[in-house]
Amino acid sequence: MTELEKLGIKIGHYTNLEGLTGATVIIPDNGADIGIDVEQLKSKNR
């Protein structure tokens, strides 16, 4: 069990290699009072 799992935090990620996009999701078991939206970051590889 990882330290994040011990804290009740789940993390998932999906990558679309064809579209060169992806998404990471962080879900705390007990909910959260914060949200973060990061858009339009440019990769150095593009």
pLDDT digits (tens, 9 = 90+) for 1-46: 889 888 898 899 999 999 888 888 888 888 877 777 777 666 666 5
Structural domain includes residue 39: no
Dihedral pair phi/psi, residue 3, rounded to 5°? -60, -40
pLDDT of residue 40: 66
Structural domain includes residue 20: yes
Structural domain includes residue 36: no
pLDDT of residue 4: 85
The parent domain of residue 26 ranges over 1-30
Structural domain includes residue 16: yes
> How far, in Å, CA of 7 to CA of 30, rounded?
10
Structural domain includes residue 37: no
pLDDT of residue 44: 63
How many independent structural domains does the chain possess?
Answer: 1
Structural domain includes residue 24: yes
Element holding 2 (H helix, E strand) = none
Structural domain includes residue 17: yes
State the first-to-last Cα distance of the chain, in angstroms, to the nearest integer: 36
